[in-house]
Amino acid sequence: MLFPAKNYVSRQKLAKLTREGKHWLVNFPDCPGCQTFGDSRHEAVEMAADALAGWLASILKHGELPPVPKMREGRSVVAVPVPARLAAVIMIRLRRAKLGLTQKQLAERLGVSQQQVAKLEDPDTNSSLASNRKSHAGPWH
């Protein structure tokens, strides 16, 4: 199995939704500096999805990983979806980090170039995991 269930990365992040005067504020406590607001609750949650995607893409571009979630469900908490492409990049990077592999080492295990692994891990690259059949092999064990 490529990503065992215990290593599953959620396709959503939890955010705190609060009323601030006439506006609704959405703050992601697990994502420092990631927040937005809207004129309505609905607009704020829509804006939160864009803010989260931008925040995640930015930290991934800088070679970082998102912090491990600590926030729990509760009152005034909303689940904001993580775009599928970003979730896939995060899963690949987390798994590679857990195994202590560089991109080059992972590429060698997969039988591909380091540049191909870099493309898989680039949030801006429109790469299809399905087209990279070798990535479904078993070097993740």
Domains of the chain: residue spans and CATH:
12-82 (3.30.160.250), 85-136 (1.10.260)
- DSSP structural state of residue 43: H
Q: Environment class of residue 100 by beta-carbon count within 10 Å: exposed (0-12), middle (13-18) or buried (19+)? A: exposed
HSE, CB side, 13 Å, CA atoms: give it for residue 115. 0
Interval 92-138: pLDDT, tens: 999 999 999 999 999 999 999 999 999 999 988 875 543 444 444 45
Which among 82, 27, 30, 15 is positioned nearest to 53, based on CA atoms?
Answer: 82
Interval 39-69: pLDDT, tens: 999 999 999 999 999 999 999 999 898 887 7
Answer whether 0.95 is exceeded by the pTM: no
